[in-house]
Amino acid sequence: MSALDRLKKSFGWLPVGRVPDISATELNVRLAGNNPVQIVDVRSGAEWRRSHIPGAVSVPIHALKDRLSFLPLDAQQPIIAICLSAHRSIPAVRLLQAQGFENAVQLKGGMLAWWSQHYPTERASW
């Protein structure tokens, strides 16, 4: 096991290394079709309230571990972790995978990639 792998195992929150990802275009196609996906947005609450992908659940990365068991997530369905630039979503994907969400991936490029394609977003209504 490499030094980086040992660090990732000990400190799953490290935002370095690679995790599986999905492009903004592929996610948009999946959301428009009949393939259910679950979206966990790990940005801050303020970031999520300003603009998020419709249907996303907001759980800031620092709270994900404690709140994960309370989220209505299906471990058998794909789950997409999203942050601003695909930095915070790396440890989110690792945590999700460690908790049995084998189909967890991150949005490649994060919300920056989503916005650059002008895909649908919404604002919190509260």
Q: Any idea which residues carry the catalytic annotation?
A: 83
Cβ distance 104 to 97 under 8 Å? yes
* Location of structure tokens 């571990």: 65
- Tell me the backbone φ, ψ of residue 34, rounded to 5 degrees: -105, 20
Task: Measure the N-to-C terminal CA separation of the chain; round to a whole number of Å.
Answer: 47
Residue 70 three-state SS: helix
Pick from 70, 40, 78, 100: nearest CA to 48: 40
Handedness of CA 54, 74, 107, 117 (dihedral sign): negative
